[in-house]
Amino acid sequence: MALRRVSVEDEVMPESKLSNPITEHKKKSANRASVAVITLSSSRSASNDESGAIIQKLLEENGHSVPVRKLIADSRNVLRATLRELVRMKNVHAIITTGGTGLGATDITIETVRGMLEKELPGFTSLFMLLSYPRAKSASMLSRAMAGTIKGKPIFCLPGSPRACKLATESLILPELGHILMLLAT
């Protein structure tokens, strides 16, 4: 009589019976969301806000809507007031900011938003830097992109670079937005 070698994993849970919770969650996720896009800049205008335009275009091409798109000054008070208004709006499910994430004295987005966060998603920053590295090399460590939640709404803070906005929106935000919203709704 030949003995068959059986692993503990086979006995405990055969691979075919394991479900993928991420796949299951994404199946239950909303396909459409209303997202506010906020550009922080002292030098841009509505007519030359390329980063905000890229974010809006990518969101809309993927079935989401942008009910609010604003360009505001690099001011802690203005940003805080804008975010407080947006989290109260029922027709805004998520917020994306672009700009104000650098190292300059007027770059106040990260410090301002971090003080308002309920939860931070440190993996967003790590993945953004990892994705940026092939092109930006060591300069990717200067990225201060960030994500988290404010009053149960996801917020993504992106650099002002159009290339960075495209990268983060396509590679990180769009694939997970519905999943994040589903998790926050439970």
Residue 48: CATH number of its domain: 3.40.980.10
Q: The pTM is what?
A: 0.87
In a domain, 133, yes or no: yes
User: Do the domain assignments include residue 5?
Assistant: no
The number of folded domains in the chain is 1
User: What pLDDT is recorded for position 45?
Assistant: 85
What does the pLDDT look like over 138-177, one tens digit per residue? 999 998 999 999 999 999 999 999 999 999 999 999 999 9
CA distance 166 to 140: 15
Q: What is the pLDDT of residues 49-71, one digit of tens each?
A: 999 999 999 999 999 999 999 99
Domain ranges, residue 123: 32-185
51 CB contacts (<8 Å, ≥6 apart)?
A: 39, 98, 99, 158, 160, 161, 162, 164, 165
Q: What is the pLDDT of residue 19?
A: 72
Helix (H, G, I), strand (E, B), or coil: what is residue 151? coil
CB 97, CB 169: distance < 8 Å: no
Q: What is the pLDDT of residue 36?
A: 98
Q: Mind listing the pLDDT tens digit for each residue in 18-39? A: 677 766 656 666 679 999 999 9
